[in-house]
Amino acid sequence: MRIGIVGCGGRMGRTLVQQVLETDGGALAGGTERPGSDLVGQDVATLVGAPPAGAAVTDDPSTLFATADAVIDFTTPAVTVENAALAARTNTILVVGTTGLDAGALARLAEAAKKTRIVQAPNMSVGVNLLFALTRRVAATLGVEYDIEIVEHHHRHKVDAPSGTALGLGRAAAEGRGVDLDAVADRARDGHTGAREDGHIGFAVLRGGDVVGDHTVMFAGPGERVELTHKASDRVIYARGAVRAALWAADKPNGLYSMTDVLGL
């Protein structure tokens, strides 16, 4: 499978390039960078110190989508929505690891997925997706006397909060309880907030240093506390999951999929 990388010159982009090179059944189709970037025209494999792969960095996404079997996108919501439309026009598999997608962006991905295969998840890590499943199961088992709090910590450069993974964990917990997350989420607390409301799901956000991503789901009940935690120490876990998703989607019908589908959870 020829796999292209959007934003191939960034930290995540280079990690994805390296992962494609190391994956059996994967080959680099090229990458994209912003117009004016010094990387445009270079062979994408050389970005990670590998021998040339015959796949260039371009500033024209349509060129990449026309030649790739699959494209992986960990960029921004606006760029991802544009790339979903390109994927639909070229029937190219699109794997989306972009965070901060709102309901409108997700709806446009779903529309594009009628004409191609799109795998979208707030987190591509195998371990985190197992955490989603466990959170759903524990929330369904424990009653509302167990307060749910989600704590996440990321590096100082992250621009969205709570993280997409934290919100995904909140949705998993809400699904386990059969409620709508928007109706029970406490995403900010400051000042005299009053007592905690029964059944609500709280979020706490930490930003600092170079933390790749730590997430904990706490179920605090009377006399005991259950905590589910995932700590990421290397971005390669996201790249590994994304490439796995691209290969998985090769023989699937058009539609919008998640890592839950990829992993059979």
What residues act catalytically?
154, 158
Computed from CA positions of residues 59, 63, 69, 73, in that sequence, does the dihedral angle turn out positive or negative?
A: positive
What are the backbone angles phi and psi of residue 66, rounded to the nearest 5°? Answer: -75, -20
> How open is the CA angle 133-175-120, to the nearest 5 degrees?
60
Q: Which residues contact 97 (CB under 8 A, 6 or more apart)?
A: 12, 72, 73, 74, 121, 123, 124, 238, 242
Q: Is 210 helix (H, G, I), strand (E, B) or coil?
A: coil
Q: Tell me how far apart the alpha carbons of residues 221 and 198 are, in angstroms, rounded to a whole number.
A: 11
Say what the alpha-carbon torsion angle 98, 253, 110, 108 is, to the nearest 10 degrees.
Answer: 80
Please tell me what DSSP assigns to residue 98. Answer: -
Tokens 């059996």 map to which residue? 24
Output the CA–CA distances (angstroms, integers) from residue 124 to 74, 91, 233, 235, in the order listed.
Answer: 10, 22, 14, 10
Radius of gyration of the chain (CA): 19
Element (H, E) at 63: helix 61-67
